[in-house]
Amino acid sequence: MLPEECRDAVAAWRQLRSLDVRLDHTFVANCDDDVRSLCHEDLYDSMLAGPDVEPFGLSEPFDCLRSHLDQVRDPTCRRCVGLGVRGDREPVGLVHERSVGA
């Protein structure tokens, strides 16, 4: 069993990863064009960058589309962005891990 401070560090790292839009296949596959057309070019570029360039926790493209939800063209992207509020919901990765172990 890991010491408490290690468990806390791993939990914080998982939290950041779970909120990172680059690891959300639905977002990346369906929101790419909308991020490119509705958000600042730097946000689109950050979606393409790896964690060595842009650390885990990248949620700005999601936040941008959330603020322009009425202009999002892709219906799957609109649903994805409209249903999830990053930071206010439990991270997807942690929910999945619990359901698998249950």
Task: Give the model's confidence band at 17: pLDDT under 50 very low, under 70 low, under 90 confident, else very high.
Answer: low
What is the pLDDT, as a whole number, of residue 16? 65
What is the pLDDT, as a whole number, of residue 84? 64
Q: What are phi and psi of 55, to 5 degrees?
A: -60, 160
Q: How far apart are CA 36 and CA 73, in angstroms?
A: 12
Does the pTM of the predicted model rise above 0.75?
no
92 compared with 7, residue with greater pLDDT:
7
- Flag whether pLDDT at 96 surpasses 60: no
Domain ranges within the chain, ordered by starting residue: 4-101
Q: Which of 6-15, 33-42, 75-84 has the highest mean pLDDT?
A: 33-42
Do 44 and 27 meet the contact criterion of CB atoms below 8 Å apart? no
Per-residue b or e along 35-53, where b marks 16 or more CB atoms closer than 10 Å to that residue's CB? beebbeeebbebbeeeeee
Region of 40 on the Ramachandran plot (φ > 0 left; ψ -120 to 50 alpha; else beta):
beta
Each residue's pLDDT tens digit, 55-74: 877 889 999 999 999 999 99
